A = this chain, B = another copy of it.
């Protein structure tokens, strides 16, 4: 597989991940080929967008029958995933941490949640949803011993900031922060601040705007 030299835009990466899941669902239902406009329709976007995304990763289609589903899945896999599984740790094993763990580890991803951390003495030292849960004070040692490169932060927002330095010291390369406190890291650490409140507020705003439009 040749290496892609140009960086792929973030939004394209997001859509590739989404196409992949749709394609896997198609594959399971015995669908072997799919046209760009069908794939586009399933995602509420245009066929031009789908073709542009796939062109960006160097994939072209058999236009008579559409894209070969299996080949396209493998191709996207080669772009999105390392050959090695990436180990992820969850910081904060409350409801959200447990929901995330159950959710991710039930999927066939090349990214696995392999460790959890919590401040609670009740959780630390136990296995929760088949993964070991450690006390957060041991964060740096456990990360080093278990080749963890990404952390998901599902701690209470008020606690998150104090773990920025341990995360940096442990050599973590990617952070997915679900708290409502945005976290900044030095260059070289990939960060996604991903507060779900923001998205609910956005939906609410556009619902309100539509209602106001209708009332005018």
Binding site for B on A (CB under 8 A): 3, 7-8, 10, 13-14, 17-18, 21-22, 25, 41-44, 79-82, 86, 88, 94-96, 98-100, 102-104, 107, 109-111, 149-150, 152, 173-176, 180-182, 184, 188, 190-212
Contacts and interface: CB of A to CB of B under 8 A. Distances in A.
Most buried by B among A8, A191, A198: A198
Most buried by B among A111, A195, A205: A205
B88 A200 contact: yes
Contact of A205 (B80, B109, B205): B80
Tallying the copies of this chain within the complex gives 2
Nearest to A211: B173
Contacts of A14: 198-199, 202
Interface residues of chain A: helix, strand, loop or mixed (majority): helix
20 contacts: A13-B202, A14-B199, A17-B201, A21-B181, A21-B197, A25-B181, A42-B182, A44-B193, A81-B204, A82-B208, A95-B95, A95-B98, A150-B203, A174-B206, A174-B207, A176-B199, A176-B203, A190-B206, A192-B199, A192-B202
A17 B152 contact: no
B195 A210 contact: no
A50 to B, nearest CB: 13
A195 B197 CA distance: 14
Nearest to A20: B201
A3 B191 CA distance: 36
B111 A201 contact: yes
Given A103-B197, A104-B197, A200-B104, A212 B98 contact: no
Contacts of A150: 200, 203-204, 207
Contact of A182 (B43, B205, B206): B43
Contacts of A199: 14, 176, 192, 194
B98 A197 contact: no
Given A42-B184, A99-B99, A109-B201, 7 more contacts: A18-B193, A25-B181, A43-B182, A79-B205, A150-B207, A174-B203, A190-B210
